[in-house]
Amino acid sequence: NPAKSKYHPIDDACWSKGQAVPYLALAKTLEAIEGTSARLKMVEILSNYFRSVIALTPEDLLPSIYMCLNQLAPAYHSLELGIAETYLMKAVGQSTGRSLAQVRAAARAAGDLAAAAAAARHTQRTLRAPPPLAARHVFAALQDVAAMTGQASVNKKIAKIQTLFVACRHCEAKYLIRSLEGKLRIGLAEQSVLQALAVATATTPPHPQGVTVLDASKGLSTEEFKARVDEHALIIKTTYCECPDYGRVVAALLQHGVPSLPLHCRLEPGTPLKPMLAHPTRGVHEIFDRFEGEQLTCEWKYDGERAQLHVPGDAAPRLHHAAVFSRNQENNTTKYPDVLRRLPSLLKPSVTSCVLDCEAVAYDVANKQILPFQVLSTRKRKDAREEDIKVQVCVFVFDLLYLNGRSLVREHLATRRQLLREHFNQVPGEWQFATSKDCSTMEEVQQFLDEAIRGSCEGLMVKMLTGDNSRYDIARRSHNWLKLKKDYLEGCGDSLDVVVIGGYHGKGKRAGVFGGFLLACYDPDTEEYQSLCKIGTGFSDDDLHKLSTALKEHVIDAPRNYYRFDAAHRPDVWLAAACVWEVRCADLSLSPAHRAARGRLHPDKGLSLRFPRFIRERDDKTPEQATSAQQIVEMYLSQDQVKNQAAKQTSHD
């Protein structure tokens, strides 16, 4: 519901045309966003800032967007910030003449290193004030810091951070330190940034020849303006999903304007797109309730690792440029030299370029048997040499998203599947299409589920085959793909991916390692990690050893100020939110002590997992991609006993 704004992008900006955007303008925008919890207000504040950038210094739009999101580059460049806290403390200490212990104590007292650093910077006098920071220079410096690697780089990083830090004015230090910590914590989700861009471009459209239109909403009725914003939002969001690279999207947007963005910025082999995700379901009934009268197809749900396979090409496929990307758009190409070498057997001569959505699964070639995920996870993650590879992989292809220069994401699944079968070969044990069956009765689905489980699969993926709902919903957890796992009947419908935030020292047989852990879900609305349960089951001795060793590097001396927990669960050791684990549980229940989703269902009760057990590490997920507070609410509400209770309540009322 965007309201027309009275903001004047030139008069109200604190810099003039052609001048580099001062970092202070961005920091003040972030501060204003942090000061509000209303999403519409956040979008308005940010869109006003973007309007000024577009009108005055469009080349600073890209660094501005990246810094609002605390990103440095597209995910597949694997360039990440998140400097170890001690180094940041050292940089702050050295710039303000304090010892590490003093900075540490101040950070603990303020509950936040960024706040303590900002206070220290404030009281500090400098002989000659360094020139003010420009947003683009801060961004370039952040990229430099992230790109420095190796032990020898530590001092260089600290020096670079110091140079920035001493030049900070007003609230700049706070946001600089937070950016370096890898967490902005202003409650600004990516969707809001894209929405702000839509509002900004609908009001102050970029113009290739530099003609500045300050307020294109003038002359439009409120309804017309809203329609324009909606149209821009749809174009920008879909374009970004097909091409998750702000560099390309922003360049095209500035050069050609939003309406023609889809013509200039499309899905292309080489740029991984955000994958379609599925919703959990608790049973065959639910599927038919949802998809009544629709044409359904079920596919075996393989338990491996998602692999988006890209083959670029013009007249012929450029096989040596083929790449494999993970669920998170990370580049996994060097993990699969064996798979890529076999590419020629997959492509029929009609293929010049393609993008395939697949699951890479460990495979016992001799016995023609799918192997569990645990076996796959023993493969080397990077720079694997083919001669060293022991675990063979069979790639199960389940979707075709791009073929011969054409994006297929808007096509129906039935069409995509037909093209897949027409243009690609199957090679047993190497390349196979996901086993599928178009089902029209519950019995058929149930029977096919049993077959999938006998075939060593996790369950089924149930998908719409035709109609608009069978398009590939990029980046969405869509109800048009449902996952039906074999254990949907026992306990809750799906496993959860949770973040480890604390450890408890083991006793007896487990002495010397952690014996239990405090787990949390993530709430993207508040950017908090909220305690969900303690866990001590499901681990082998070997797991505990390995996990305890791996977690050592994440030990921190106090809980982050964005952790939510009850004092009764205080762990022996706090851990930085870094590791994601998959866990299962018997069910979810309301809890006065745990903080997951507190306030969403009950003013002072959260949700917790009963009888949680560890399944595996999820190193393909970042902590922000853990199961969210809202998903936990949905899982709780979909439990039969909760549904029955609600039904009883309604009938009593």
Active-site residue list? 301
Which CB atom, from 55 or from 276, has the smaller least distance to ligand ATP? 276
Whole-number Å distance between alpha carbons of 181 and 484: 38
Q: Is 476 exposed, middle or buried (0-12, 13-18, 19+ CB in 10 A)?
A: middle
Which CB atom, from 327 or from 416, has the smaller least distance to ligand ATP? 327
Q: Tokens representing 316? A: 């012929």
Residues 6+ apart with CB under 8 A from 145: 81, 83, 157, 160, 161, 180
Residues 6+ apart with CB under 8 A from 347: 311, 317, 354, 423, 424, 425
Which CB atom, from 252 or from 521, has the smaller least distance to ligand ATP? 521
Residues 6+ apart with CB under 8 A from 25: 13, 14, 15, 49, 52, 135
| Chain residue at closest Cβ approach to ligand ATP | 306
* Minimum CB distance to ligand ATP, residue 472 (Å): 11
Which CB atom, from 94 or from 627, has the smaller least distance to ligand ATP? 627
Which CB atom, from 112 or from 303, has the smaller least distance to ligand ATP? 303
Q: Tokens representing 479? A: 């109800």
Whole-number Å distance between alpha carbons of 343 and 326: 18
Host H or E run for residue 432: strand 431-433
Which CB atom, from 44 or from 497, has the smaller least distance to ligand ATP? 497
Which CB atom, from 181 or from 497, has the smaller least distance to ligand ATP? 497
Whole-number Å distance between alpha carbons of 194 and 46: 10
* Minimum CB distance to ligand ATP, residue 584 (Å): 11
The residue among 501, 574, 560 whose CA lies nearest residue 110 is: 560
* Minimum CB distance to ligand ATP, residue 635 (Å): 12
Residue 27 DSSP SS3: helix
Which CB atom, from 96 or from 326, has the smaller least distance to ligand ATP? 326
| Number of Cβ within a 10 Å radius of residue 324 | 24
Buried b / exposed e along 596-621 (16+ C-beta atoms within 10 A): bbbebeeeebbbbbeebbbbbbbebb
* Minimum CB distance to ligand ATP, residue 400 (Å): 12
* Minimum CB distance to ligand ATP, residue 508 (Å): 33
* Minimum CB distance to ligand ATP, residue 517 (Å): 19
| Number of Cβ within a 10 Å radius of residue 123 | 7
Whole-number Å distance between alpha carbons of 136 and 314: 36
Residues 6+ apart with CB under 8 A from 367: none
- Are the CB atoms for 508 and 312 separated by under 8 Å? no
| Number of Cβ within a 10 Å radius of residue 124 | 15
DSSP structural state of residue 350: T
Whole-number Å distance between alpha carbons of 465 and 490: 29
* Minimum CB distance to ligand ATP, residue 355 (Å): 15
* Minimum CB distance to ligand ATP, residue 579 (Å): 15
Cα of first residue to Cα of last residue in the chain, in angstroms, is 35
* Minimum CB distance to ligand ATP, residue 303 (Å): 7
* Minimum CB distance to ligand ATP, residue 95 (Å): 41
- Are the CB atoms for 60 and 136 separated by under 8 Å? yes
* Minimum CB distance to ligand ATP, residue 73 (Å): 23
Which CB atom, from 237 or from 306, has the smaller least distance to ligand ATP? 306
> Which DSSP string do the residues of 522-570 spell out, in sequence order?
EETTTTEEEEEEEE--S--HHHHHHHHHHHGGGEESS--TTEE--GGG-
Positions that interact with ligand ATP (CB under 6 A): 277-278, 299, 301-302, 306, 327, 359, 398, 434, 461, 483, 497
Which CB atom, from 278 or from 551, has the smaller least distance to ligand ATP? 278
Which CB atom, from 332 or from 591, has the smaller least distance to ligand ATP? 332
Helix axes 640-652, 629-637, angle to 10 degrees: 70
Residues 6+ apart with CB under 8 A from 180: 81, 83, 88, 142, 145, 161
- Are the CB atoms for 397 and 436 separated by under 8 Å? no
Whole-number Å distance between alpha carbons of 2 and 5: 9
